[in-house]
Amino acid sequence: MILLLLSHYRIIVIAAIIEEAASCQNKCGSLQVNYPLGTGSGCGSPLFNPYVSCAGGGDKLLLTTHTGSYPITSISYSTSSLTITPPSMSTCNSMQSSPNFGLDWPSPFQLGPSTFILLSCPPPTSSLTIKGTPICDDTVNSHLCGLIHTCPAMVSLGLSIFAPTNTCCVYSPANLNSMGDLDLKSLKCASYVSVVSLGDVPTDPSSWVYGITLKYNQVGVDNSNIATRCEACRKSDGICGYAPPRNNFLCVCKSGVNSSTDCYNQLPAPFWSSNSFRLIRMTMKSLQVDRPQKPGSDYNGVERVNDQSTVIPVPNKRVNITEKFNEYERSWFPTQTPTDVIIQVEDVNFYVHKLPLISRSEYLSQLNRRSHSSDNGYDFKLDNFREE
């Protein structure tokens, strides 16, 4: 928001200079990104930030945890699940030593129905336990170890093809330890494979679908009110987001003006409350203005429009727009947006927006706390206003 304070001969421009910031997107690469997921801070649900973000110039949707960042390869909104492919995870075509994989406990993600296969573990794997409980499935899925051992890439782990499977463990369903990790180091296993689906040929591990399926919950996020407002936002071609620090619902619109409702009926949300915008400094400058005068009077009684180019914050860039102020009977009105407070300077009234001003000016904040309803036609009065 830009505040223009006009005296008899000068316009004082207090401009909010903002840092360029990323805007919310509904696609990242080939993936459609819908609520509650988002492409960055202020987008989607606050519970999914900072875990999910769009990186790589907008081409790669990532899940970030304390153990690393993992590409998201598919999303199912109907089942509240997604699939990630950790770069260090082994597959039939490429095997390598793997670090621990983990999820952050405060995050809304949990392990889904993927099947983990631990490779190159101390034999016999029947002795692998967590808190005294054996973890290897030696019944239903034990044949998967024999199949994965037919992959030529096994030699990368120091094992020969068709080697004995007593160093392999099918860990399903898998559990994470108290740190949220699949702790390969404590199990002394060199690598892991995670299988989402056995594909069209279950006996051919080169055709399996590899990845880790994660479920996500929306507890504390999605209620009927938010769902209704988000649907209205999406129908108006907006993107559902939130406004810190209270994380209130926000509809991010392509026009650059965020809304608390939708992009058809824009009720502006406070831009300073979202960290997709950041105020970094305030500047002040004076502009000389010619003011026609009638002899014997400081006002000629004729309405006129004064256009000033100002800088306002919008997503992803700085944009210069022209805000028109109409002067009528010693009052100045912005013609584009409604106002909620009147400030009087040297007997001239200015119709402006209160919240951006009191949030950035301690002086105006103090005036606001002391102010009461006035019968003089203004809310604040700036006395002894000095022109630069």
3-state secondary structure at position 241: strand
Supply the pTM of this predicted model. Answer: 0.65
Residue type, 212: I
Q: How confident is the model at residue 26 (pLDDT cuts 50, 70, 90)?
A: very high
What's the pLDDT score for residue 191? Answer: 96
**DSSP state letter for 376:** S
Domain endpoint, select from 164, 189, 216? 216
Q: Is the same domain home to 209 and 73?
A: yes
Residue 388 in any domain: the answer is no
Q: Is the same domain home to 83 and 181?
A: yes
Q: Is the pLDDT of residue 3 over 50?
A: no
Please state the rounded mean pLDDT for residues 131-138.
Answer: 86
Please state the rounded mean pLDDT for residues 89-115.
Answer: 95
Average pLDDT, the chain: 76
Q: Is the same domain home to 9 and 80?
A: no
Do residues 260 and 269 touch, judged by C-beta distance below 8 A?
Answer: yes
Residue 295 in any domain: the answer is yes
Using CA atoms, how far apart are residues 255 and 266, in angstroms rounded to an integer? 10
Residue 193 in any domain: the answer is yes
What's the pLDDT score for residue 100? Answer: 95
Do residues 88 and 99 touch, judged by C-beta distance below 8 A?
Answer: yes
Q: Is the pLDDT of residue 105 over 60?
A: yes
Residue type, 100: N
Of 169, 176, 182, 162, nearest to 138 (Cα)? 169
Domain endpoint, select from 195, 216, 237? 216
Lowest mean pLDDT among 16-30, 87-101, 123-137, 282-296: 282-296
Do residues 209 and 197 touch, judged by C-beta distance below 8 A?
Answer: yes
Using CA atoms, how far apart are residues 202 and 144, in angstroms rounded to an integer? 9
Q: Is the pLDDT of residue 381 over 90?
A: no
Using CA atoms, how far apart are residues 344 and 232, in angstroms rounded to an integer? 39
Using CA atoms, how far apart are residues 210 and 212, in angstroms rounded to an integer? 7
Q: How confident is the model at residue 216 (pLDDT cuts 50, 70, 90)?
A: very high
pLDDT in tens, 329-380: 555 555 445 566 778 777 777 777 777 676 667 777 777 776 655 566 677 7
Using CA atoms, how far apart are residues 230 and 239, in angstroms rounded to an integer? 8
Q: Is the same domain home to 313 and 372?
A: yes
What's the pLDDT score for residue 312? Answer: 36
What's the pLDDT score for residue 154? Answer: 94
Q: How confident is the model at residue 62 (pLDDT cuts 50, 70, 90)?
A: very high
Which residues does residue 297 pair with via DSSP β-bridges, in sequence order? none
Conformation bin of residue 158: beta by default, left when phi > 0, alpha when psi is -120 to 50: left
Do residues 212 and 171 touch, judged by C-beta distance below 8 A?
Answer: no
What's the pLDDT score for residue 264? Answer: 83
Tell me, rounded to whole angstroms, the distance of Cα 39 from its chain centroid.
5
Q: Is the same domain home to 73 and 194?
A: yes
CA atoms lying within 13 Å on the CB side of residue 72: 32
Using CA atoms, how far apart are residues 73 and 51, in angstroms rounded to an integer? 15
137 or 256, higher pLDDT: 137
Q: Is the same domain home to 343 and 206?
A: no
Quote the domain boundaries for residue 119. Answer: 66-216
% residues pLDDT > 70 (the chain): 67
Lowest mean pLDDT among 25-34, 115-124, 276-285, 318-327: 276-285
Q: Is the same domain home to 295 and 166?
A: no
Q: Is the same domain home to 192 and 133?
A: yes
Q: How confident is the model at residue 254 (pLDDT cuts 50, 70, 90)?
A: confident
Domain endpoint, select from 216, 233, 267? 216
Lowest mean pLDDT among 143-157, 194-208, 226-240, 344-358: 344-358
Work out how many domains the chain is built from and give that number.
Answer: 2
What's the pLDDT score for residue 236? Answer: 92
Please state the rounded mean pLDDT for residues 8-24.
Answer: 41
Q: Is the pLDDT of residue 321 over 70?
A: no
Q: Is the same domain home to 86 and 165?
A: yes
pLDDT in tens, 265-310: 765 544 433 433 333 333 333 333 344 444 554 444 444 434 433 3
Do residues 273 and 244 touch, judged by C-beta distance below 8 A?
Answer: yes
3-state secondary structure at position 178: coil
3-state DSSP of 15-43: EEEECCCCCCCCEECCEECCCCCCCCCCE
What's the pLDDT score for residue 323? Answer: 41
| DSSP states along 311-352 | EEEETTEEEEEEEEEEE-SSEEEESSS---EEEEETTEEEEE
Do residues 124 and 166 touch, judged by C-beta distance below 8 A?
Answer: yes
Residue 108 in any domain: the answer is yes
3-state secondary structure at position 230: helix
Residue 25 in any domain: the answer is no
Burial of 148 (0-12, 13-18, 19+ CB in 10 A): buried
Using CA atoms, how far apart are residues 343 and 352, in angstroms rounded to an integer? 7
297 or 226, higher pLDDT: 226
Q: Is the same domain home to 9 and 120?
A: no
- Structure-token match 């990242």, residue found: 28
Q: Is the same domain home to 212 and 287?
A: no
Residue 187 in any domain: the answer is yes
Do residues 89 and 187 touch, judged by C-beta distance below 8 A?
Answer: no
Q: Is the same domain home to 179 and 300?
A: no
Over the range 179-188, which residues count as b (16 or more CB within 10 Å of their CB) and which as e? ebbbbbeebe
Tell me, rounded to whole angstroms, the distance of Cα 265 from its chain centroid.
23
Residue 241 in any domain: the answer is no
Do residues 253 and 260 touch, judged by C-beta distance below 8 A?
Answer: no
Residue 231 in any domain: the answer is no
Q: Is the pLDDT of residue 1 over 80?
A: no
Selection from 17-26, 146-155, 216-225 with the highest mean pLDDT: 146-155
pLDDT in tens, 42-52: 999 999 999 99
